Amino acid sequence: MLVYLAKRLAYTVPIVFSVALVCFMLVHLSPGDPLISILPADASVELEQRLRIQYGFDRPLPVQFWIWISNALSGDLGASIANGRPVLSEVLQAVRNTLLLACTAAVLGFALGMFFGLVAGYFRDSWIDKLATSIAIAGVSVPHYWLGMVLVIIFSVQLNWLPAVGAGPGNWSWTWTHLQYLVLPAVTMAVIPMGIITRTVRALVGDILSNDFVDALRAKGLGEGRVFLHVIKNAAPTAIAVMGLQLGYLLGGSILIETVFSWPGTGFLLNTAIFQRDLPLLQGTILVLALFFVFLNLFVDMLQAMIDPRIKRG
Amino acid sequence: MKPVVSVRDLTVSFHGERTVHAVNGVSLEVRQGEVLGLLGESGSGKSVTMRALMRLLPRKRTRIAGSIEVDGRDVLAMKDDELSAMRGKVVSMIFQEPALALDPVYTIGAQIAESVVRHEGKSMAEGRERALEMLERVRIPSPKRRLDAYPHEMSGGMRQRAMIALALACKPKILLADEPTTALDATVQIQILLLLRELQAEMGMSVIFVTHDLGVAVEICDRVSVMYAGKVAETGTLANLVRDPRHPYAQGLLSSTVLGARRGERLTTIPGAPPSLSQPPQACSFEPRCRFAVASCAIQRPPEVDLGERRMARCIFAEKTASEKIASLQPTPA
């Protein structure tokens, strides 16, 4: 197990480096001068020049990359051009919010998806299966920004039960004052992973049930409840792998939902950074998100290796 | 002596996109401590009969008629909890492909212990002790280590030994073996057969052993039932059946194997193919392939002819031996 862990950790080093390089290149290849957004229209050439040197935009790209990456390694991602605050604290704050939202949505989606998938697979072709499958198809097909707006109209505007936007006043706390802000975006976000997990698990259960060992379990006198338990344990590794990928998408692909609900997470931050051409902020956010993906996959691999003995360790 | 397994006129049909009449009136009898071989080709209904004995067939699509009595109890009338109490405790089963019949994500020890916990109300730790005992009994090398092994970490022969240990953990009266040696290579096959025979004698179990391999049946069975198209064509002691088969299918089957054949001589084959089972048979299923068939064979189902000494053949010519039948063919030109 330790050898496996060490190996997987070693693999992440070149991946992280390439990711950093690519996101640096992408940002600098895109058109537009980062200074335009902060310079007043009548700024002198001198001022522009001074700022350019101050931010280091005058140096050759490889040098800029080197400075950026070595600073990044020591935890300094530079300062935002738009508001001058350190990128790292901005990003970390946003990451925390996104994590909160994505994890809530993932837990919700995974729990519901596992439930629907297991039930649908076990009672294949029954009305329960048809119901669960319909929910799953609706889940993956409905555009979630649209669903988000519909939910806002119903629960915020019409019923006035839940707030429509933001993450609540001040710092986050686990109280209803803040939690009520989480409900609508989390539910909206959970719908897609729920649909995908449902479909995956339903197919998996079908496969597992067609195995001889299910007959063998019944043949040794286990009741259906116990057999079901074996089915769950057999389905879990794959379901977790799929969920890991989904969590990745939720962390990175939440721009639309965060924008609809003005949730102050990384998606929202990226959106702002792009529109303000805030290069340091953009680079920092992308890098942190990419690192997230890498470590998330690592974590999922470890988890799988722990549950399913057939995945080779070492 | 009262039989421990008694099957009367069992019919099993599957209904779905198409209908298959897999078993059409099978009667079997197994006494205490007896090994009955179910011999037949693929699709003859041997495995279906076995699964019907434990009611393991998919409930929705299967229709079962007739009667099955195991250890004096009517299996077809059992409720779910009675069924699961019987399975593994009174009747156990081992399967053709042990790699697929063991749960891949549980250790061998846990799988055996689970059965002991289920039937004897013991703790998991006591279950593991029994598991260790059983692994020693089936002579798995370094059994202590194997307790925590997963099925994929063992060889085919070892897996089948583990499967046997699992099936016998609660000392069942009856063991159903569904081609347990077919997936193994020849040297391992004979080891498993010897082990089964030994354990059967030690525990006084009754065994129904399904196989398509006459050579395997010869090694282990006391009595044999030859199945064809969902029916028992002939039943008798192994010796009787091998020396003096009475049903033309059994005769054909025997003369098509190397058993007792002379070197350099061609083996005979049975012409034609088994019938489709989409309709329940109205006449003798073997009639189209039978060289002794007469007009009445194609019209009505042949009776079960009792030949004494618990011997039976389902053929109107059952009284005649093979050579007598051939002799009776001589006058009419071929």
pLDDT tens profile B124-139: 899 999 999 999 999 9
Contact between chains at A219 and B56 (C-beta distance less than 8 A):
yes
User: In this complex, do B114 and A211 lie within 8 Å of one another by their Cβ atoms?
Assistant: no
Residue of A nearest to B111 (CA): A217
Q: Do B87 and A233 touch (CB under 8 A)?
A: no
Q: How is B184-249 classified by DSSP, letter by letter?
A: S-HHHHHHHHHHHHHHHHHHT-EEEEEES-HHHHHHH-SEEEEEETTEEEEEEEHHHHHHS--SHH
Give the SS3 label for residue B319. coil
Which of B90, B102, B103 best tests the A interface by mutation, with the highest count of A CBs <10 A? B103
B208–A contact, CB cutoff 8 A: no
B1 has pLDDT over 80: no
Window 159-178 of B: residues touching A by CB (8 A cutoff) are 163, 166-167, 170
For residue B96, the chain A residue with the least C-alpha distance is A212
pLDDT band (50, 70, 90) for residue B299: confident
The residue of A204, A213, A224 whose CB has the most chain B CBs within 10 angstroms, and thus the best one to mutate to test that interface, is: A213
Instruction: Please report which confidence band the pLDDT of residue B49 belongs to, taking 50, 70 and 90 as the band edges.
Output: very high
A310/B167 CB distance under 8 A: no
Q: Which residue of B has its CA nearest to A306?
A: B105
Q: Which residue has the higher pLDDT, A54 or B162?
A: B162
Query: Minimal Cα distance from A237: which residue of B?
Result: B105
Q: Please answer yes or no on whether A215 and B101 come within 8 Å at the CB atom.
A: yes
Cβ contacts (< 8 Å) between B130 and chain A: which residues?
Answer: none
CA distance B299 to chain A (A): 39
CATH number of B28-55+75-227: 3.40.50.300
Average pLDDT for runs of 10 along chain A of length 314: 78 84 80 69 78 78 84 79 79 84 88 91 86 87 84 82 74 74 85 90 89 88 88 88 80 76 83 81 82 78 73 53
Q: Residue A312: its pLDDT value, please?
A: 58
CA diameter of chain A: 86
Q: Could you tell me the pTM of the whole model? A: 0.76
Chain A contact present for B105, CB below 8 A:
yes
Least confident of A26-35, A199-208, B15-24, B283-292: A26-35
Chain B positions touching A204 (Cβ under 8 A) are none
Residue range B203-251, pLDDT digits in tens: 999 999 999 888 888 888 999 999 998 889 899 998 888 888 888 888 8
- Residue B58 in contact with partner chain A when CB distance is under 8 A: no
CA-CA distance, B114 to B104, in Å (whole number)? 15
Indicate the pLDDT class of residue B330, thresholds 50, 70 and 90: low
Can you give the residue ranges of every domain in chain A? 87-307
* Chains A & B: contacts with CB separation below 8 Å: 80
Provide the shortest C-alpha distance from residue A117 to chain B (in Å): 20
Are B180 and B212 in contact, with CB atoms under 8 Å apart? no
Residue B111 has pLDDT above 80, yes or no: yes
Please give the pLDDT value at position A314.
41
Rounded to two decimals, the ipTM of the complex is 0.84
Mean pLDDT of B85-105: 89
3-state secondary structure chain A: CHHHHHHHHHHHHHHHHHHHHHHHHHHHHCCCCHHHHCCCCCCCHHHHHHHHHHHCCCCCHHHHHHHHHHHHHCCCCCECCCCCCEHHHHHHHHHHHHHHHHHHHHHHHHHHHHHHHHHHHHCCCCHHHHHHHHHHHHHHHCCHHHHHHHHHHHHHHHCCCCCCCCCCCCCCCCCHHHHHHHHHHHHHHHHHHHHHHHHHHHHHHHHHHCCHHHHHHHHCCCCHHHHHHHHHHHHHHHHHHHHHHHHHHHHHCCHHHHHHCCCCCHHHHHHHHHHCCCHHHHHHHHHHHHHHHHHHHHHHHHHHHHHCCCCCCC
- Say whether A218 and B87 touch across the interface (CB within 8 A): yes
Give me the pLDDT at residue A43, please: 74
Tell me the average pLDDT across B12-29.
Answer: 89
Summarize the confidence of residues B267-275 as an average pLDDT.
81
For residue A95, the model assigns a pLDDT of 83
Q: Domain locations in chain B?
A: 28-55+75-227
Q: Worst-scoring range by mean pLDDT, B104-108, B199-203, B325-329?
A: B325-329
Summarize the confidence of residues B151-179 as an average pLDDT.
90
Q: Do B114 and A222 touch (CB under 8 A)?
A: yes
Q: Which CATH superfamily is A87-307 part of?
A: MetI-like (1.10.3720.10)
Q: What is the pLDDT of residue B260?
A: 65
Share of chain B above pLDDT 70, in %: 97
Q: Nearest-CA distance from A290 to chain B in Å? A: 33
- B14 touches A at CB < 8 Å: no
Q: How far away is chain B from the Cα of A222, in angstroms, using its nearest Cα?
A: 6
- What pLDDT does A103 receive? 87
Alpha-carbon gap, residue B203 to A11, rounded angstroms: 56
pLDDT at B197: 92
- For every residue of B118-182, DSSP letters joined together read HHH---HHHHHHHHHHHHHHTT-SSHHHHTT--GGGS-HHHHHHHHHHHHHTT--SEEEEESTTT
Please report the pLDDT score of residue A257 as a whole number: 84
